[in-house]
């Protein structure tokens, strides 16, 4: 019996011993880091050192977004020795309500409260003339945009805590944001700093910088032109985008209305969503006649390949103003005497923007061939621009397309695209046939100027021949020198382009009197460098894209010529 008792005691002691060992292992190894962190938190107080967000500069180094030196003021209630003096001084310097501040300090259950964020240095200098126990300050991050609303939607904005919310600020947030540091003060259990104990510093790491493809001088031109459009036509919106036709670099893009990036309307979500949206990449619309560049390109390419269903460049189309497709009447915009056009070839059809001739082309080529070019030119899919929120546009499934649908797609109806898709597809038609990836950032570099990453975008697939592209440049140059785009003509310069006047739909039906007017232009037409799209939504007093958007594009090109001494 005694042996059994001794054995039981031995087993119990062994169990207790193993339990203690296991508990020590758990506390020291498994739970150790968490306990160390809690101990450190009890015995120290920290003031964050916020990293400086990286700059965003244009292609020539002009700063478009930077970090302004401001400060956050903190109060640690337990370390305050003269509450009345703290309340009076802070309320006087920072224009605060003294009673509310004192009550907040007295009633808070947290070890630290923020009293002021983004305070100017002059106010902090004044605070520094006072000795206030329990009051601290540290640099914080205030995003600053030297040119206020310039490039508003594209640059985007940050939250009040400095995190990217939209535009480039969001897309490249992981590069721009950096890593925060902190100042650690030793304190007793009541939260009072221990005297004669110097603080410890953990240095912040600043964010990286972005060099854009944007040219500040050209951006100013587009801003001025879209402002002019808003004043002259009081439309719902006006926008323009300028791109290098050979490599996809976005040189400028402007959308109005906009807002001052230094005064982001965080409390007005309706304004923020409407004026802050990057409409050039996120909004889809029926492009109208500017889309005819695709239809003409497809026909010319197929003709050069020997496709008997394509029309020759000299073919004379029927002069009738109407086409009947699946029992529906499709007519030309113009009203010629006796209801007929004069004889027209494809070049003249582009000049006059005659819908029935493009219907003939699409129906002759057929759905399979036409859709091949539609997809090859990038419709129905994102371009890949380095911004969030790009839309794919809306293209009917090929299997669901009727002859009536195909007829209307040929001249830019029954299809929706983003402005950037249209611009990029037109660039493909005139740059030798290459699909591009539009982009906004050239390189990413450190605070000491070291380039860490060059963003090189190669030309994509070649979808039409160089010969077809040359023919299209010639056709579109004639649209400006002889046809509907005459108001974009610049003497002694070769400019090409295409006009568009698209009807708007509401609840599935055409809304009379509401139009989206546009012009896509490029120059020099013989060897293109710049391509520009101008869109004015519901202009008041405007009649066609040829009379509203084309002159605005001309002003942009004149500005480019003057600025670049071309």
- List the domain boundaries for the chain: 45-194+205-212, 216-563
Q: CA 95 from chain center: how many Å?
A: 37
Specify the DSSP element, H or E, that contains 268.
none
Mean pLDDT of the chain: 88
pLDDT digits (tens, 9 = 90+) for 113-129: 888 888 888 998 898 89
Nearest to 291 by CA among 467, 465, 424, 120: 424
**174 band by pLDDT with thresholds 50, 70 and 90:** very high
What pLDDT does residue 16 have? Answer: 73
Q: Which residue has the higher pLDDT, 294 or 15?
A: 294
pLDDT digits (tens, 9 = 90+) for 374-386: 999 999 999 999 9
Q: Are 119 and 70 in contact (CB under 8 A)?
A: yes
What pLDDT does residue 495 have? Answer: 97
Max mean pLDDT among 61-70, 87-96, 419-428 falls in: 419-428
Angle made by CA atoms 218, 224, 227, in degrees to the nearest 5:
140
The most distant pair of C-alpha atoms in the chain lies apart, rounded to whole Å, by 128
Decide: helix, strand or coil at residue 169: helix
Q: How far is 546 from 563, CA to CA, in rounded Å? A: 25
pLDDT digits (tens, 9 = 90+) for 244-262: 999 999 999 999 999 999 9
Helical spans, DSSP H, in 339-465: 346-352, 355-365, 367-376, 403-409, 419-430
Q: How far is 136 from 290, CA to CA, in rounded Å? A: 61
What pLDDT does residue 46 have? Answer: 60
Residues recognised as catalytic: 289
Residue 131 CB neighbour total at 10 angstroms: 9
Fold of 45-194+205-212: Penicillin-binding protein 2a (Domain 2) (3.90.1310)
**195 band by pLDDT with thresholds 50, 70 and 90:** low
Fold of 216-563: Beta-lactamase (3.40.710)
């Amino acid at each position: 019996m005694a042996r059994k008792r001794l054995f039981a005691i031995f087993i119990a002691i062994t169990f207790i011993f193993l339990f203690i060992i296991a508990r020590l292992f758990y506390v020291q190894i498994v739970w150790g880091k968490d306990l160390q962190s809690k101990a450190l938190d009890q015995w120290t107080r920290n003031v964050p050192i916020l990293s400086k967000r990286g700059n965003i500069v244009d292609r020539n180094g002009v700063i478009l977004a930077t970090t302004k030196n401001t400060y956050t003021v903190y109060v640690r209630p337990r370390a305050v020795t003269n509450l009345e003096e703290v309340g009076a001084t802070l309320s006087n310097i920072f224009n605060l309500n003294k009673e509310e501040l004192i009550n907040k300090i007295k009633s808070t259950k947290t070890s630290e409260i923020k009293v002021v964020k983004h305070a100017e240095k002059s106010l902090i200098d004044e605070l520094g003339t006072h000795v206030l126990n329990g009051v601290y300050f540290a640099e914080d991050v205030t995003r600053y945009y030297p040119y206020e609303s310039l490039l508003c939607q594209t640059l985007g904005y940050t939250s009040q805590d400095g995190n990217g919310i939209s535009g480039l600020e969001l897309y490249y947030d992981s590069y721009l944001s950096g890593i925060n540091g902190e100042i650690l003060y030793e304190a007793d259990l009541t939260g009072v700093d221990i005297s004669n104990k110097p603080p410890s510093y953990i240095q912040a790491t600043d964010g990286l910088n972005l060099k854009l493809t944007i040219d500040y001088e050209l951006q100013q031109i587009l801003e001025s032109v879209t402002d002019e459009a808003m004043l002259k036509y009081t439309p719902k919106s006006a926008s323009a985008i300028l791109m290098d036709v050979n490599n996809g670099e976005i040189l400028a893009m402007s959308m109005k209305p906009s807002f001052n990036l230094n005064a982001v309307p965080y409390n007005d979500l309706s304004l923020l969503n409407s004026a802050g949206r990057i409409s050039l990449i996120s909004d889809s619309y029926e492009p109208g006649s500017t889309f005819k560049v695709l239809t003409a390109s497809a026909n010319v390419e197929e003709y050069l390949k020997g496709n008997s269903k394509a029309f020759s460049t000299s073919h004379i189309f029927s002069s009738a103003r109407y086409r009947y497709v699946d029992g529906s009447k499709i007519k030309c915009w113009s009203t010629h005497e006796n209801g007929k056009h004069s004889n027209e070839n494809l070049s003249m059809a582009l000049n006059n923007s005659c819908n029935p001739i493009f219907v003939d082309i699409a129906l002759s080529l057929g759905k399979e061939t036409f859709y091949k070019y539609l997809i090859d030119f990038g419709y129905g899919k994102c371009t890949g621009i380095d911004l969030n929120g790009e839309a794919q546009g809306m293209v009917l499934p090929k299997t669901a397309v009727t002859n009536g649908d195909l007829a209307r797609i040929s001249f830019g109806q029954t299809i929706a695209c983003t402005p950037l898709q249209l611009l990029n597809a037109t660039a493909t038609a005139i740059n030798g046939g290459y699909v591009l990836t539009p982009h906004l950032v050239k390189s990413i570099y450190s605070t000491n100027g070291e380039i860490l990453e060059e963003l090189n975008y190669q030309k994509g697939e070649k979808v039409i021949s160089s010969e077809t592209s040359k023919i299209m440049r010639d056709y579109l140059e004639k649209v400006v020198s002889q046809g509907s785009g005459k108001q974009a003509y610049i003497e002694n310069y070769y400019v090409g382009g295409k006009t568009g006047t698209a009807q708007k739909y509401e609840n599935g039906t055409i809304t009379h009197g509401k139009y989206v007017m546009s012009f896509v232009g490029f120059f020099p037409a013989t060897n293109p460098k710049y391509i520009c799209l101008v869109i004015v939504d519901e202009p008041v007093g405007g009649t066609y894209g040829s009379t509203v958007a084309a002159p605005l594009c001309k002003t942009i090109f004149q500005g480019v010529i003057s600025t670049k001494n071309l």
